[in-house]
A and B are shown apart, each in its own frame.
Chain A
């Protein structure tokens, strides 16, 4: 049986480092799933507390980041499955406040106004989660697969389908076409 690390400064230091290095990753991924700022913060809190308590298991993990994001994704999926979440009003159904109260709310408001974000949120969850991890958080296909507990091939397939849907969504929207920059269009691959 694995021994629990004694509480102390070393554990606290680790926690501080994780929050500083990966706090944004965890919070933004959580928000992408639940689209509720307060709920995302609660999830992020739970992620770091679980990671802190189980930090001995981390020593065998490859990457702190993927480990933390695995916890995040699992927690978010649990939340989305829960009854209460299915009955919550998502943020884009709420009136946008005229003057956001703080920088976090301001960031949420700006994000919610972004067309690409809206398009991503319109994707089914299996596509949305790969897009968020791969494009928004900049993880590799292998890391995304590790976090989601699937294969790289599956991630590639989901990404392909997600791109197709995003293309269609944004084209249909007509407000901005999903296009590559001019120079890359002139150089077919």
Chain B
């Protein structure tokens, strides 16, 4: 009997091996593999940024004095400066590149400023566009044009998009930019400040269900386009999903809207307000580089309804007032804390008129899917959850104060695939 425990243990070992082999196993799902593939370029980018920061910290940190002494002694100051500049260029290589040298600095930073030039009700320019573009605009609507509820309504500009394709920004490089040909189908010239573009990357699962991978506002033509005129347009998206080789992933959709918000009845695309309350908006700096910066905007989202709200259907619009992101304002704000708070309310159900202030002249507007890694899946009924929106903008965005944030609904059949832009 002395060895009984060991014998038991051996028998247990054998039984366990057999029983364990019979246990069900979780499959490694294809969509998880797809998700991982989609995150690879972002992780590579983050790794590169970290390495640049680490290098800078190594020079600028505790060893700064010693390093400077050594470098001066060795006659390397010029080389150090040169390295710093090339690093800055490398870090800023990702943001937007407009096709023309006259592209605005905002465009060069991957940020679009929306000027609502059309205070008067626009005519339905969409009638001048190909049916495919009207259909795309309608497909991006989460409500019919007749919906009278609170919503952000966008009216198509008479800019027809053709030859939309992915392209390389340098010979032999990955497909890292989007190019298209724009034609002004309207009866009058279109100035750059009159239009704003919406670039969406869509993906489809095996069943054919489409998801929004990423989206952003983009600038229109970089110069006034005469009636009947055409121009080439290109854009290099920052943060859009890419494969391991750096090629953009997903199907691009490009539409141009008249700047400003119109009523649902006049709109080609309608985004209803999500039935939630947005509270306690806070901003924290994430990264800065030579031509831009990024912030994490954290919001408390309360769902007062009795139904959970899916985060994958939420689209966040963040807007900084016109005077908040200028250099002077940024400098003044720099004296303040990097974290601040404000209040915005979705559920107060403001009238459409209350939303016309959105996309106003000079304001800085950014767009992001609410869903993404680390974000909750739903806002529970009666509950409150925290959403973090990662936004990239011009230099000083992190010091520009607190934006107002509104959450709108994507169409029921078109949810976020998981990454935010």
Contact = CB atoms under 8 A, between A and B. Distances in A.
Interface in A17-61: 19, 23-24, 26-28, 31, 37-38, 40-42, 44-45, 48-49, 52-53
B17 A135 contact: yes
A12 B242 CA distance: 12
Contacts of B11: 179-180, 184-185
B28 A15 contact: no
A142 interface: no
A91 to B, nearest CB: 12
B23 A27 contact: no
Nearest to A102: B29
Given A7-B44, A166-B12, A181-B14, A45 B28 contact: no
Interface string B27-50: 111001101110111011001000
A169 to B, nearest CB: 11
Contacts of A28: 25-26
Contacts of A49: 36, 39-40, 43
Interface stretch (B2-10, B154-162, B251-259, B332-340): B2-10
Contacts of B39: 45, 49
Interface in B268-286: none
Nearest to B10: A189
B15 interface: yes
A62 interface: no
A45 B31 CA distance: 11
Interface stretch (A68-76, A103-111, A143-151): A103-111
- Among B16, B17, B25, B27, max chain A CB count under 10 A is at B16
A188 B10 CA distance: 10
A37 B13 contact: no
B244 A15 contact: yes
B373 interface: yes
B14 A180 contact: yes
B15 A7 contact: no
Contact of A178 (B15, B37, B41, B374): B15
Contact of A107 (B17, B26, B40): B26
- Among B8, B18, B25, max chain A CB count under 10 A is at B25
Contact of B28 (A8, A11, A19): A19
B29 A163 contact: no
A15 B27 contact: no
B12 A178 contact: yes
A117 B37 CA distance: 31
Interface string A154-189: 000000100110110000000000111100110011
B47 A53 contact: yes
A15 B40 contact: yes
Contact of B23 (A104, A111, A184): A111
Nearest to A105: B26
B14 A4 contact: no
Interface string A107-141: 11011001011000000000000010001100000
B25 A184 contact: no
Contacts of A27: 26, 28, 32
B66 interface: no
Contact of A117 (B18, B23, B35): B23
25 contacts: A7-B41, A7-B44, A7-B245, A7-B246, A12-B245, A19-B36, A23-B28, A23-B32, A27-B32, A41-B29, A44-B36, A45-B35, A48-B36, A52-B40, A103-B27, A104-B27, A136-B20, A136-B23, A163-B9, A164-B12, A166-B16, A179-B11, A180-B12, A184-B14, A185-B11
Interface of B: 5, 7-20, 23-29, 32-33, 35-37, 39-41, 43-44, 47, 51, 243-246, 373-374, 377
Given A44-B36, A45-B35, 17 more contacts: A4-B51, A7-B40, A9-B245, A12-B40, A12-B243, A12-B244, A19-B33, A23-B28, A24-B27, A53-B44, A111-B24, A111-B26, A114-B24, A116-B23, A167-B8, A178-B15, A188-B7
